[in-house]
Amino acid sequence: MRESRDEKRKRVGRILRGLARSYPEATCALRHSNELELLVATILSAQCTDQRVNLVTRELFAKYRTAEDYAAADPKELEREIHSAGFFRNKTKSILGAARRILQAYGGRVPERMEELVTLPGVARKTANVLLGTWFKKNEGVVVDTHVFRIARRLRLSAGREPEKVERDLMALFPRSDWTSAAHRLIWHGRRVCRARNPDCAGCPLRRECPSAGEAGAG
């Protein structure tokens, strides 16, 4: 039976309340103490676990403290230092390119506007949303990583096949004030309960609101 717009909005409200009850302390799992560290960590997190990134950045952040430090880094040395995060050549190019762009265009400071952030090498909308929501406390969009993408489709909040479409759908459904917090909570939910394989539908706090609950593979 097709869900009406009003019914969907009421269900979304229950989903957001359920997430808030289950994950009240949810936040970004990437360790950082400033916006530059969060930028570098987010670039490193592509196709890599947050746990691995945090291991890599523990020593990286002790050595490289400013955009100038990264811009002056030896590429081969940086490649070795981030090797275990995977795709180390491309990530090195992105980090060095972003640092140089920050120096040349933004006076050495990470910009805090979407249209400026996406001009940095290695920074697309998802990374920009992480920076804006987590560090700058600006709700400009919804972070759609693999967890958010999967759960949004399982909950039938979006049928989008691209992250950009899923993000637009979630932005239309979620109150703007919840864009950042909801994304953090969905990510925690995806790691702990609504896993890609063998989701724990029986123990899921959202099971009553999930059309996919109990399905093989949960959609």
Residues with catalytic roles: 126, 145
Q: What is the DSSP string of 131-163?
A: IIIIIS---SS----HHHHHHHHHTTS---SSH
HSE at residue 186, side-chain half, CA atoms within 13 A, is: 27
Q: Find the helix or strand (DSSP H, E) in which 198 lies.
A: none
Q: Which of 213, 40, 12 is nearest to 130 (CA)?
A: 40
Ramachandran class of 138: left when φ > 0, alpha when ψ lies in -120 to 50, beta otherwise? beta
Q: Pull the structure tokens for residue 88.
A: 């180390």
Q: Which of 124, 70, 65, 136 is nearest to 102 (CA)?
A: 70
Is residue 17 exposed (0-12), middle (13-18) or buried (19+ Cβ within 10 Å)?
exposed
Rounded to the nearest angstrom, the gap between the alpha carbon of residue 74 and the centroid of all alpha carbons in its chain is 28
The C-alpha atoms of residue 204 and residue 214 are separated, in whole angstroms, by: 10
Q: Are 27 and 3 in contact (CB under 8 A)?
A: no
The C-alpha atoms of residue 54 and residue 31 are separated, in whole angstroms, by: 6
